[in-house]
Structure 1
Amino acid sequence: MIRSLFFCLCLLISLVGAAQAQRMPPEGSIMAEAKAATDAGNLAGAIALYEKAYAGNEPNAAEQLARIYLEGGEGLAADYDAAREWAERSVDAGETRGLLYLGKIWMEGLGVSADLDKALGYFQQADKAGDMKAARYIGLIALERGDDAAAVQWFAKAAEAGDITSQYYLGRAYQTGKGVAQNFAAAFRWYGIAASRGDLIASDGMVGLASLYEKGEGVPADQAKARALYEKAAALGNTAAKAALAK
């Protein structure tokens, strides 16, 4: 039960991360207009512009449509059938992120019956195609199946490639000693790398660092530093940090 709840939380974090990792399109392109509409919260307008960009063969339009329909947003309900259709078009256009979205759809059973084997196949394709986030999801499936050691190996691959969420997962593995020998110095290092960008996605790294200071694991116990890190992460919207402060 706990592992399943953690698995769902990982997916939620990953979706937010994918939304924030949108590539910067060329200035003056329809894709740039669509991104501006997305950033302004005008999802209906963004969809129309992304569809126009797709019709004009601008790259990454299909994957952005898949993302919007997968997540939904203010004034727009998620549409998993549309998400799957656009993800498949994204794959047809040679975009690895489409494979990632298809993997998520089958992993969580979004509009389909959940199928971890099918999801894993998409993530493995994305990994072979060079999508740096794919290894994270392969690791999550390994974690769900109880193979902590394999999960750590995949998190390490994605962490080394620069995936912030995987950097946090790797830090936590070193802190807890699940799937790898416990090493607080390595945990501190990876939490610090994960926290360095300073945004919501990076806030998990801040929470990890705070937990080390709170417990005195690998560093001298320092409740003031722990609280400061929890407060910084909470201000960014991190729910774990808010819960820690509430204690």
Structure 2
Amino acid sequence: MRARRLAASLVFALAAGAAQAQDEARTPDAKTPDAAKAAAAKPAPPDLAFGAYQRGYYVTALAEAMKRISADDGDAAAMTLVGELYAQGLAVRRDPAEAARWYRLASERGDRQATFKLGLAKLTGDGVEKDRDGATKLFEKAAAQGHPGALYNLGVLAIEANPVIPDFATAAADFQKAAELGDPDAAYALAILYRNGSGVEKSDERAAYWMGRAAKADNLAGQVEYAVMLFNGVGVAKDEAAAARLFLKAAERDNPVAQNRAARILAAGRGAPRNPVEAMKWHILARAAGIKDAWLDGELAKLSPKEKEQVEAAVRRHVGR
């Protein structure tokens, strides 16, 4: 497990404060029932900056965010968006130092996402001096505001702080809070702790519950691990068909372990109909990634020349997606 940078698709709460302020300014008398009804019926103005960002119009997103900042130097959400654009090099040259500057401004104005991103920058030394203690303080600040990524990273740091005696109990508590807020990486990490009995009482059932949550939230490692648990009936009712679906889903995402398991499932016809060609496609892909399997090598040797041609074509299609 390691501290990780959240994807750019994380939602920035850009519209709420500005929209509320504009609605209030347009309301002649918010204390009267009629005015209150009118305000409630009036749609919030569109968030042009965030909308443009979501659609990939990054130049427009930057321009609209800067307009908002010019109109309100306390618009922390717009500042966070500008920081994200600089961090990723969208519409501007990538500039981690400039990204950190905007994150710092937004963090000072209370934006938890900016606080988290600045913490990541300090943790990795991206655009700012590397500062693990400073990163921890920022994660703690964001965590106090209910940021799941910050809680997850605090859990990772608790484990890494002392390699000899990792603080699994603190990590488990942080992972649980983050997982309950919907963080799939935290759900996966918590499942591993329950499986190993690290910082929590060992429980296959709790491990399966949180691994299932991670898998459902599209955590790739969680999908593979939960499929293994389903196939073997560990901590959850045995369900080879459900396991096969998860293995195949993860195999499509190029996870070598899942590709190997998918190959075995399709070669044996367990959990899914037998399909030697598809089985060997996954076997070849997994083998290319370093996973050896003598049994599957034997199954590959049994194929007819025509079937082997079909396997080669299937591999080319997958690689050329």
TM-score normalized by structure 2?
0.62
Residue number among 229, 237, 255 corresponding to 1:212 in the alignment: 229
Residue number among 152, 171, 182 corresponding to 1:162 in the alignment: 182
Residue number among 231, 243, 257 corresponding to 1:244 in the alignment: 257
**Aligned equivalents of 1:124 and 1:84: distance in 2?**
18
Report 1 or 2 for greater relative contact order, CA contacts < 8 Å, sequence distance ≥ 6. Answer: 1
Matched ranges for 1:1-247 at <5 A? 6-7=1-2, 10-12=3-5, 15-16=6-7, 19-23=9-13, 25=15, 27-29=44-46, 32-57=47-72, 58=75, 60-72=77-89, 78-145=94-161, 146-197=166-217, 200=218, 202-219=219-236, 222-233=239-250, 237=253, 242-247=255-260
- Change over 3 Å in CA distance of 1:194–1:24 after alignment to 2: farther
**Aligned equivalents of 1:171 and 1:71: distance in 2?**
32
**Aligned equivalents of 2:93 and 2:223: distance in 1?**
32
Once the two structures are superposed, residues 19-65 of structure 1 have per-residue CA deviations (whole angstroms, 9 ceiling, x without a partner) of: 33333735534xx2222222222223322222222222345111122
**Aligned equivalents of 2:66 and 2:168: distance in 1?**
41
**Aligned equivalents of 2:232 and 2:92: distance in 1?**
43
**Aligned equivalents of 2:232 and 2:84: distance in 1?**
39
- Change over 3 Å in CA distance of 1:234–1:78 after alignment to 2: farther
Q: Which moved more, 1:214-223 or 1:123-132?
A: 214-223
Query: Post-superposition shift, 1:219?
Result: 3.3
- Change over 3 Å in CA distance of 1:56–1:206 after alignment to 2: farther
CA contact (8 A) 1:19 1:67 kept: no
CA contact (8 A) 1:172 1:208 kept: no
Query: Post-superposition shift, 1:169?
Result: 1.9
Once the two structures are superposed, residues 146-165 of structure 1 have per-residue CA deviations (whole angstroms, 9 ceiling, x without a partner) of: 32232111111222333333
Unmatched runs of 5 consecutive residues or more in structure 1: 1-5
- Change over 3 Å in CA distance of 1:191–1:68 after alignment to 2: farther
CA contact (8 A) 1:152 1:179 kept: yes
Unmatched runs of 5 consecutive residues or more in structure 2: 20-43, 261-321
Once the two structures are superposed, residues 74-116 of structure 1 have per-residue CA deviations (whole angstroms, 9 ceiling, x without a partner) of: x755321111111111022221222111110011111234221
Partner SS state of residue 101, structure 1:
helix
**Aligned equivalents of 2:141 and 2:108: distance in 1?**
13
CA contact (8 A) 1:168 1:208 kept: no
Q: State the Cα RMSD in Å.
A: 2.7
**Aligned equivalents of 1:68 and 1:245: distance in 2?**
35
TM-score normalized by structure 1?
0.78
Query: Post-superposition shift, 1:166?
Result: 1.7
Query: Post-superposition shift, 1:216?
Result: 3.8
Q: Which moved more, 1:99-108 or 1:138-147?
A: 138-147
CA contact (8 A) 2:76 2:110 kept: no
